[in-house]
């Protein structure tokens, strides 16, 4: 068996997973994980990051939404891992990816982004559209 994923949404899904486990050869790795972030959560995060990137600077530097995402991921879970870059003239952060976040972790990240934005005068256009 190669790689397979089943999302447990019914008793039939649980039975399918149990059958796969019973048929799996020894040394097969089985992983149980919470649901990954949803597409609406992902869309909201990027809309918020884009709003922040268009309205704010960080220590006098204009950052891209991707850069802001790394700052907020760090705020969500402190995970400082830095290594020298390949040329030896700078550093690379080996931080966490948002694509690995569960739905709950993504909700927590959105709350961190919203709280920071609210405290720093960011106007979130997603919230304006929702209120209209």
Tell me the per-residue pLDDT of 71-101, one tens digit each, with 9 for 90 and over.
Answer: 998 888 767 778 888 888 988 877 667 888 8
Containing domain of residue 71, as a range?
Answer: 35-131
> Cα 51 from chain centroid?
17
Tell me the per-residue pLDDT of 111-124, one tens digit each, with 9 for 90 and over.
Answer: 999 999 999 999 99
Same domain, 114 and 79: yes
For 91, residues 6+ apart whose C-beta sits below 8 A from its C-beta are 82, 83, 84, 85
Same domain, 27 and 60: no
Report in angstroms the alpha-carbon separations of 36 from 22, 78, 101.
26, 20, 6
Which has more confidence, 44 or 2? 44
Same domain, 44 and 26: no
Q: Please tell me the total count of domains within the chain.
A: 2
Same domain, 58 and 39: yes
Mean pLDDT of 13-27: 91
Q: Confidence class of residue 127 from pLDDT cuts 50, 70 and 90? A: low
Same domain, 63 and 17: no
Same domain, 58 and 112: yes
Looking at residue 34, the DSSP 8-state letter turns out to be: P
Report in angstroms the alpha-carbon separations of 86 from 67, 70, 83, 89, 90.
20, 20, 9, 8, 8
Same domain, 93 and 63: yes
Residue 82 to residue 2: CA distance in whole angstroms:
34
Same domain, 16 and 46: no
Same domain, 12 and 42: no
Question: What's the pLDDT at 129?
Answer: 47
Is the predicted pLDDT of residue 131 greater than 50, yes or no? Answer: no
Is the predicted pLDDT of residue 44 greater than 80, yes or no? Answer: yes
Query: What is the domain-level CATH number for residue 125?
Result: 1.10.3790.10
pTM given for the model:
0.65
């Amino acid at each position: 068996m190669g790689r397979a994923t089943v999302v447990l949404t019914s008793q039939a899904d649980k039975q399918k997973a149990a059958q796969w486990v019973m048929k799996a050869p020894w040394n097969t790795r089985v992983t149980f994980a919470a649901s990954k972030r949803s597409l609406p959560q992902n869309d909201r995060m990027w809309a918020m990051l884009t709003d922040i990137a268009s309205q704010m600077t960080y220590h006098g530097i204009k950052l891209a939404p991707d850069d802001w995402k790394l700052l907020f991921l760090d705020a969500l879970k402190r995970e400082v891992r830095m290594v020298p870059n390949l040329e030896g003239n700078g550093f690379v952060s080996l931080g966490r990816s948002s694509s690995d976040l569960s739905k709950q972790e993504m909700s927590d990240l959105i709350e961190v982004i919203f709280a920071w934005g609210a405290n720093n005068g960011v106007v979130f256009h997603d919230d304006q559209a929702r209120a209209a």
